[in-house]
Amino acid sequence: MVNLSLVDASILCCAVLAHLYYRYKAKASLPYPPGPKPLPLIGNLLDIPKVRFRGFEVFAEWSKVYSSDILYLGVLGKNIVVLNSVDVANELCGERSATYSTRPHLTMLSDLMNATRFMAVMPYGDPWRARRKMFQHYFPLNDPTRIAISRSEEFIRKHLLPSLLDTPKDFLSHIRNTAGGVTLSLAYGLRIRRYDDPWIKLAEMTLHTTTQAAVVGRYLVDIIPALKYMPEWMPGAGFLKTAKEGRRIVNSFFDDLYAAAVQEIADGVAQPSFVSLALEENDETEIPDLKEVIRETAGIFFAGGSETTVVAVWNFVLLMTLHPDIQEKARKEVDMVVGHDRLPRFSDKPSMPYLTAVLKEVFRWSPIVPAGMPHCTTVDDIYRGYFIPKGSIVINNAWAMLHDENVFPNPDRFDPDRYLTASGQLRHDILDPETTATFGFGRRACPGSQIALTTMFVAAASFLSSFKILKPLNAKGEEIDPLVHYSGQTMVDNPAPFDCRFVPRSKEAVALIQAEILSLDESL
């Protein structure tokens, strides 16, 4: 009996070894996805587009060159896979999310800046699940809550519109301050100043620092992690100084904002917020690291909602400036639904299909995060006969997906009508940028997308109801098109500062805004 067991065990071991050998051999013989031909030793290091060259557009062009919507680059032992279609992104990051849901370990971002405190950067695992679960408990996915809607409407009516009336030339900073105010209020219950708020500045600095570091290929230390041990005085070690400052900013963002919120709760002056509700309703015996989970989950609001909202609203303003005919058509719809004796509300959205189509086209024409947040494979995978190694950095190229001429004919043209039927109703047979590609894929899709979409709609409808967005004037008083330029310096692709004119539509519109000013305190 013993001998038989030993024989069986030996046969089993041989079978397992044979299976593993042939599996490895089969994978080793499979090709990588198509891509540029690598050079010895350095691979495709020289092929990675520089940030300023908008790599997502280069990757999209490569799909035509190599006749493939999945591409591969190998760089000094690192594997990079680029997904250029919605179908392949859904199949891999959606249907195979167990394999594709973690984040690549970017040395600059994770080790040197400590940015894994952001849920968007955190590896897939129990700590990430705890924070995602807590966020979705208070702000369910695809369901804007009443508090999110009311805060968005309040900030736009009492903050953004009055500021535009006072200093319209500063519209870019007013939009940023309002979007930041909405998310900071929802997360921490903190009130902000109408101008130059220090919390907004801290959050803005944090997002700028981390989104720069999240661009794959920006820092050589992400390709050669051992560089992090360089002495700061050595030539080429300037990134270490950047990293040290980034770490200070990230820690200040999480710790100082949370401490201020807790102090206001203790003083009895706090507005209802995620932090106040989570501290009140959760038990530390059930969640041992409760305060740290709450502290880091609160950071999701600004990281996931504010910057996307800012860039989306900036893009809306720019495109309305460039397309006055589309602006006027959307304004007529707003007037028909809202009239002239009140400001728009989020509840008006179902009655505004044309404006809804305009906003979808804003997201499509200029994706906020065109190359997406990178994913990473946790095991080897085979797809369409291609070998995708464990640890591959996976880039979901949202720009390529939303500019696919097979899905969106004449993709460079700004055309809201592509989302509408002949009778002017929203189509349901076309890819929707608000739910696909713009906010990510699978389990790592942005959990705060509804906050951004809510604020975006209320801001856009309010602009159209209260102002005309006009082209800037030259020295002769003639209208000229604003300069359209996207810097591509961070993973969030915001337009460079541009000029336009916010002109009140009528005395009635001014009176509505001034009525809100009467109820406005020094801060919100």
- pLDDT tens digits for 298-332? 988 776 667 788 999 999 999 999 999 999 999 99
pLDDT of residue 356: 98
Measure CA 160 to chain center: 22
**Identity at 255, one-letter amino acid code:** D
Cβ contacts of residue 225 below 8 Å, gap of 6+?
107, 111
Mean pLDDT, to the nearest integer, of 458-482?
Answer: 95
pLDDT surpasses 80 at 521: no
Percent of residues, the chain, with pLDDT higher than 90: 65
Q: What's the token pair of residue 72? A: 């591969």
Residues 6 or more apart whose CB falls under 8 angstroms from that of 18 comprise none
Strand order in the sheet with 70-75: 70-75, 78-83, 393-396, 375-376
Q: Which two tokens stand for residue 344?
A: 């728009």
Q: In the structure encoding, which two tokens stand for residue 390, read together? A: 């464990």
Average per-residue pLDDT for the chain: 88
Residue listed under structure tokens 């995978």: 381
CA pair distance 10, 16, nearest whole angstrom: 10
Residue 286, pLDDT score: 78
What pLDDT is recorded for position 519? 62
Contacts of 448 (CB under 8 A, 6+ apart): 135, 139, 183, 300, 301, 304, 305, 308
Mean pLDDT of the region 251-276: 93
Q: How far apart are CA 219 and CA 212, in angstroms?
A: 10
Q: Residue written as tokens 């710790």?
A: 255
Helix (H, G, I), strand (E, B) or coil at 253: helix
Checking DSSP bridges between strand 78-83 and strand 393-396, what pairing results, if any? parallel
Q: In terms of pLDDT, which residue wins out, 2 or 267?
A: 267
Q: In degrees, to the nearest 5, what angle opens at C-alpha 428 toward C-alphas 425 and 434?
A: 100
State residue 399's pLDDT score.
Answer: 95
pLDDT of residue 66: 96
Q: Is 156 left (phi over 0), alpha (psi -120 to 50) or beta?
A: alpha
Amino acid at 149: I
Tell me the pTM. Answer: 0.88
**144: confidence class by pLDDT, cuts 50, 70, 90:** confident
Instruction: Tell me the binding residues for heme.
Output: 446
Spell 58-95 as b/e; 16+ CB within 10 A means b: ebbebbeeeebbbbbbbbeebbbbbbbbbebbbbbbee
Q: Note whether 68 and 34 are within 8 A (CB).
A: yes
Q: Are β-strands 78-83 and 70-75 bridged in parallel, bridged antiparallel, or unpaired?
A: antiparallel
Residues 6+ apart with CB under 8 A from 140: none
Map residue 144 onto helix, strand or coil: coil
Give the pLDDT mean for 344-362: 97
**Tens digit of each residue's pLDDT (9 = 90 or more) over 36-53:** 999 998 999 888 886 556
- Residues that constitute the known binding site: 446
Virtual CA dihedral for 474, 478, 481, 485, nearest 10 degrees?
0
Taking alpha carbons only, the member of 377, 371, 409, 411 closest to residue 391 is 377
- Across residues 102-116, what is the average pLDDT? 92
User: Mean of the pLDDT values across residues 347-364?
Assistant: 97
Dist CA 353 CA 332 (whole Å): 12
Rounded distance, CA 315 to CA 309, Å?
Answer: 10
Residues contacting residue 60 through CB under 8 Å, at least 6 positions apart: 84, 397, 399, 400, 403
Q: Which two tokens stand for residue 381?
A: 């995978």
